[in-house]
Chains A and B, each alone.
Chain A
Amino acid sequence: MADGCGRSADAAAYALGALEPGEAEEFRAHMQTCPACREDVAGFQGVTLELPDASVQYAVPKGLRKRVLKEVRATPHDGAPARARRPVLIPRRALGAFAGAVAVAVAVIVGIAIGSSGGGGGTRVIQAQVIGAPGSARLQITSGRGELVLRGLPAPGAGRIYEVWFERGRGRPSPTNTLFSVSSVGAGDVGLAGSLNGISEVLVTSEPAGGSRVPTSPALIVARLT
């Protein structure tokens, strides 16, 4: 500890939250001009941060997690009105920089939705068809925006990426800006770029890293909206 001003005991009480409100305010003002007390408080707070571990540790009670996360999802963030979910995209122009990294990436889960999910209207769920591979997929549509929920799918392979396509009626599949891989256990929650209004099918194919302008392999996942 630095040579002190004699108020180390106050520093200890402050770190424990044991000063009266007026005393704490006065001590905070004192610390602004006393490096020794700042150092003492920092050191003591390093200890008080560990004190909760001295309690017997219990598992989170059943149901508490679900209640908290449900309330969080229904709560506007930082006071702002709940925003509609929009997907996280991988812009094509950015792909060149990390296309190589994708080939060695251990990771996953593109499509972390931004904003709370408190928008109005229900969610439509469509069970998608997975062709020629294990796993499952479903398409969740809320307010015209889609999210693919994937489980147990194989990784796209070295140097390859999964790409999402939109098809309207009998037209050719159109590329979207949504490229993704899956986790080590084949899971992924993928927010889709663009509205699904007027879209008849959502397709997923395996493409070379960086994506393609036209599909170069058969559809792995097909979700039919009409």
Chain B
Amino acid sequence: MIRPGRRVRIVEVRNLADEELMELVQDGEVRAFDVIFDRHASVAFSLAYRMCGRPAMAEDIVQEAFVSLWRSSAAYDPARGSVRAWVLGVVRNRAIDAFRREAARATSDLDQHGVVDRMPALELTDREVERRDDARQVRDALQELPADQRQVIELAFFGGFSHSQIAEMLKLPAGTVKGRMRLGLSKLRFALGDGPRVAL
């Protein structure tokens, strides 16, 4: 734990945990913020792009989100969640605001724009290797859900739709939509090793 008001530090910033980095960011230390950005910008951009479908908009969303994180870093409280959760929460909310403002979503394939490359085969740190394995596990678990459960989860999380809107879109009772959300998330919890098996 880094002591508040510390004035002495011989430390490799890049080896600090997110929560320790945030203490430094709260003190206004930009290099610590650089590390936070490097760790979370890729997944933040990928989420923003998945949600809004437009590379330029996704970049703007990520930029706004990280600058707001810097500006209001004092609001971060580790007791309320991880830095990753905070970053992605801000990105997701801004993405929902952005595409609602636009009231239109492109569905074009990123490759057609040729703006960004898929993640290159970079040399991975131990943390990145673990993160890639985790990501594959999440993708696989989501794909294995029944289609109707996956659909409502994706519409809610990536689409930013409320259960009422989803019910209207799919012509379903609201209770059915929430029920599918519960079943789907429960199965994902089990598949990711964090919950009891859910009966079908």
Contacts and interface: CB of A to CB of B under 8 A. Distances in A.
Q: Do A and B bind each other?
A: yes
- A18, A68, A98 interface centre (most CB from chain B within 10 Å): A18
B88 A78 contact: no
Given A47-B188, A50-B134, A58 B181 contact: no
A78 B71 contact: yes
Contacts of A94: 7-8
B175 interface: yes
Contacts of B45: 58, 60-61, 64
Contacts of A55: 43, 46-47, 49-50, 158
Contacts of B47: 52, 55
Interface residues of A, number: 70
B66 A117 contact: no
B120 A59 contact: yes
B interface: dominant SS: helix
A113 to B, nearest CB: 7
B138 A43 contact: no
B42 A9 contact: no
B85 interface: yes
B187 to A, nearest CB: 9
A19 interface: yes
A29 to B, nearest CB: 17
Contacts of A106: 12
Interface stretch (A82-90, A134-142, A167-175, A218-226): A82-90
Contacts of A61: 45, 55, 59, 115-116
Given A44-B189, A65-B37, A181-B10, 12 more contacts: A9-B181, A13-B178, A17-B157, A48-B157, A50-B192, A52-B50, A55-B49, A57-B119, A60-B41, A75-B71, A76-B71, A88-B8
26 contacts: A9-B175, A9-B181, A12-B185, A13-B163, A16-B185, A17-B92, A18-B163, A19-B163, A20-B164, A47-B185, A50-B134, A55-B43, A55-B49, A57-B43, A58-B118, A60-B41, A60-B45, A64-B59, A69-B37, A73-B30, A90-B8, A90-B10, A105-B10, A108-B10, A113-B29, A116-B28
Interface of B: 7-13, 15, 24, 26-34, 37-38, 41-47, 49-50, 55, 59, 62-63, 66-67, 70-74, 81-82, 84-85, 88, 92, 110, 115-120, 131, 134-135, 138-139, 142, 153, 156-158, 160-164, 166, 175, 177-179, 181-182, 184-186, 188-189, 192, 194-196
